[in-house]
Amino acid sequence: MDTDDVLALVGRLFVAIIFLASAFGKITNFDGTLQFMESHGMPAVNLLCAGAIAVEALGAISVILGYKTRWGAAALAVYLVAATWVFHTGPDQRIQLLKNLAILGGLLNLIARGPGGISLEGGGKA
């Protein structure tokens, strides 16, 4: 086990935890999340909220386990761009926008480099 593989694992955990926390928050405050989404003019909020939970949870689990990492990271990246566009483009959202761009950078790095050796895929460029 080399240092790069350990750092890749820790990086995957750090990138994924925000998506797991977000999915958990949506599940435990489903009605509040629906109201928030409606306040931003989103249609079909029940369906979109359930879809968001699925993408966040499954994408994060994929990244954490290092299984189909590129697919999980790509799904999270697409989701993140859409969520950022809808919720974080206002003048009072600059820090949230920049945070999401930093997360997007981590996801793009996972797509480019793979999960590292400590993963179910077992290698960097799987």
42 occurs within a structural domain: yes
Rounded CA gap, 51 and 114, in Å? 25
123 occurs within a structural domain: no
pLDDT tens digit sequence for 56-72: 999 999 999 999 999 99
pTM of the model as a whole: 0.94
119 occurs within a structural domain: no
Rounded CA gap, 113 and 19, in Å? 20
C-alpha torsion 13→98→59→122, nearest 10? -50
10 occurs within a structural domain: yes
124 occurs within a structural domain: no
Q: How many domains would you assign to the chain?
A: 1
Q: 10 Å Cβ neighbour count for 28?
A: 9
pLDDT tens digit sequence for 32-49: 999 999 999 999 999 999
120 occurs within a structural domain: no
Provide the residue range defining the domain that includes 27. Answer: 3-113
| pLDDT of 122 | 75
Residue 123 or residue 20, greater confidence: 20
pLDDT tens digit sequence for 59-111: 999 999 999 999 999 999 999 999 999 999 999 999 999 999 999 999 999 99
pLDDT at 126 > cutoff 50: no
59 occurs within a structural domain: yes
Rounded CA gap, 74 and 107, in Å? 7
